[in-house]
Amino acid sequence: SRLRPLSFCGALPCTSHLRTMQFRLLIASLAVAATSALSVVSNKGADTTSKLDINQKVYIENAPVLGDGAGEGALNVCSSFAASHVSNPDAPAVKVCGTGIKLTAFLRGRCEGYYEHHKEIGSCNTGEDSSTCVTWSPADDARFGEYQSYLIEQC
């Protein structure tokens, strides 16, 4: 068996050309990964300077998930409704109190909108009483019983 001669792609052998392309792809991938990591790190500390007042609370099935002893860890974090809530067509019942936060519930499990299948719950009207509470459940719209994820954000 004879070895074939090395073919050329322009002025460089193809193998050298392919190595150069692979190296450039590696560098580009590392640059994208570094940029993504910096974005995550810079967003991780978002809103840490503005603490929520005691009126800002979120309850799911009467259990506090933000405020009222639950802390602020759920703020700006995509969370899933509990499996027991998703499997129960009469759940979840959501209550958002205060005028500085809102909960957006999503049909999909990734906190992504899907046509009209998302629901914002809460009052972002600072003219209302600060202890205002807004509730929403499948009793208001049966489709809400199928929703899978939620995101709590400041107004």
What pLDDT shows up at residue 65?
96
Q: What pLDDT is recorded for position 43? A: 45
**118-128 pLDDT per residue, tens:** 999 999 999 99
Specify the pLDDT at position 25.
52
- pLDDT of 114: 79
pLDDT value of residue 49: 47
pLDDT in tens, 91-112: 999 999 999 999 999 998 899 8
Q: Which long-range contacts (CB under 8 A, 24 or more apart) does 129-135 make?
A: 129/99, 130/53, 130/55, 130/98, 130/99, 131/55, 131/97, 131/98, 132/97, 132/98, 132/99, 133/95, 133/96, 133/97, 134/95, 134/96, 134/97, 135/93, 135/94, 135/95, 135/96
Model pLDDT for residues 124-145, shown as the tens digit of each residue? 999 999 999 999 999 999 999 9
pLDDT of residue 144: 94
Supply the pLDDT for residue 56: 96
User: pLDDT tens digit string along 26-81?
Assistant: 555 545 454 444 444 444 444 444 689 999 999 999 999 999 988 899 999 999 99
